[in-house]
Structure 1
């Protein structure tokens, strides 16, 4: 029915038009903005329906069909993966970390490599940097040596932070060169800690997220904790008492909450506690 359109209706139409524009753009930025709006207005239930619509449009517009060569490569590699976004790269790295953990405790266990033999049946863990170097090497073996990622060149490196001598641990970069000669880079930062670290229960947020992700404008991160435990751990090692100040299930609960809190529309974070019991 025809009627006079008042200021309130004009405002409502303007609001709906903005959302429609965001939805129909169907790119990463518009989808992230819809996520941000939903996060800012959690009580507006109807916005969640518009978010679902925005995600559907984005999937349709952003989907890149695999090329014939990639399909052929997939058929010849049971573990091969095609990586088109950061979430997919995070999952591939998580799977690789699971493989590393199984190898540490497998038929020919390697976990002894991460413990120093002091003699007299006494051992102590290797340093965080040595643990990080081990993980980097095994990630290279899996992701680059075995060609798990089929459609991108993968580089895994140790890097330095913004403070003198500081190492930000491991960066996994997956690069795709498109037909126009442009490069699409996806980077995942892996922050590594031993369970004796004084900040093990806070550094996911204070270090990985607030420093390495937000400051460096990266969007994807993994917080990796090496859980060292052994009856043969030398009690004179000052790290022994620190490591026993928190239980594994307690740390898991803390990190799960931090992961939920820090994973937003613009950042994706996961954690992994690796069993290094000897």
Structure 2
């Protein structure tokens, strides 16, 4: 860092990307940074990250940091061994986890299975709703009108953690709930809804692991479709806060969808009428793609539809 630092002071116009002035230290600085980025090693990524933290508005530092990260990921990919390939062929349920992207692929496939169970299987979506058929009307009169509103996000996250653990038993993948990060002086801090960690690593002979990143990691942020910060939390919480703190690029923004027309109690403000899981998926997949491209991340969105199935006509 001491060798690179003196060459990395930003020019007067820190965001300038035009022709470089000859005969100044800028050209030499940029040549050193270009060389550092092209190495694509864990140490190069670490140094460029530190420089980016010191000068976040210097466009060349940010660009070269992203290039170094891409080069590092290319070098750190480990070819499956013959034993791993045999195990995959013998048991199609097995998945090879080499990094956070593989971990997210696995989680999304399991979430799709949970969705099929909710939509077509034996698991009723009503377990995610609070329901009662007894209401006291003005004057003390009783009514059998059904009242329904969703369970809170913590209970939804608890179920997802339980379900994923059941599916991933014996896999060595850790699933933690309410992991606390960014603690303040009073001991309080932010809490990640779900954190997945897999014992995957790069081949140390070709690309040592990044500092402080011993595991493949993926963070999941869960939001109900009624949440007042639904539109901004993917960026403000997941991307700006959780992923940098965990030193990982991989995150999933999971939206629990509860339809407005099945919401009959006033305990929680329902979402806007006309909202559909398809529209939510399109909107937040676009947002995830944009954040992934601009921040050099792997961010995805998933909508879990909690629509309660209608009872058969003979049962109504």
Superposed pair shares fold, TM > 0.5? yes
Determine if the alignment matches structure 1 residue 244 to structure 2 residue 305. no
Deviations 1:52-71 (A, max 9, x none): xx968963x43323233322
Determine if the alignment matches structure 1 residue 132 to structure 2 residue 157. yes
- After superposition, residues 210-249 of structure 1 pair within 5 angstroms as 210-229=240-259, 231-234=261-264, 236-239=265-268, 241-244=269-272, 247-248=275-276
Q: Which residue of 2 aligns with 1:3?
A: none
SS in 1 for 2:91: coil
Deviations 1:205-233 (A, max 9, x none): 12222222234434321111100126443
Tell me, yes or no, if the aligned pair for 1:31 and 1:58 is still in contact at 8 Å.
no
Number of residue pairs the alignment of both structures matches: 253
Tell me, yes or no, if the aligned pair for 1:201 and 1:254 is still in contact at 8 Å.
no
Tell me how large the CA RMSD over aligned residues is.
4.0
Q: Which residue of 2 aligns with 1:274?
A: 304
Q: 1:114 to 1:85 in 2, by over 3 A?
A: same
Q: 1:124 to 1:18 in 2, by over 3 A?
A: closer
Q: Which residue of 1 aligns with 2:8?
A: none
Cα distance in structure 2, aligned partners of 1:107 and 1:251: 23
Q: 1:78 to 1:118 in 2, by over 3 A?
A: same
- After superposition, residues 74-93 of structure 1 pair within 5 angstroms as 74-93=88-107
The farther-off stretch of 166-175 and 131-140 is 166-175
Tell me, yes or no, if the aligned pair for 1:157 and 1:170 is still in contact at 8 Å.
yes
Cα distance in structure 1, aligned partners of 2:163 and 2:279: 28
Q: Which residue of 2 aligns with 1:157?
A: 176
Q: Which residue of 2 aligns with 1:175?
A: 199
Q: Which residue of 2 aligns with 1:22?
A: 37
Cα distance in structure 1, aligned partners of 2:241 and 2:29: 38
Q: 1:154 to 1:103 in 2, by over 3 A?
A: same
SS in 2 for 1:65: coil
Cα distance in structure 1, aligned partners of 2:116 and 2:107: 14
SS in 2 for 1:184: coil
- Structure 1: stretches of 5+ with no match in the other structure: 1-6, 148-152
Pick one of 201, 216, 221 that aligns with 1:186. 216
Q: Which residue of 2 aligns with 1:122?
A: 147
Pick one of 240, 251, 260 that aligns with 2:289. 260
Displacement after TM superposition at 1:179 (Å): 9.3
Cα distance in structure 1, aligned partners of 2:290 and 2:150: 31
Cα distance in structure 1, aligned partners of 2:100 and 2:248: 10
SS in 1 for 2:247: coil
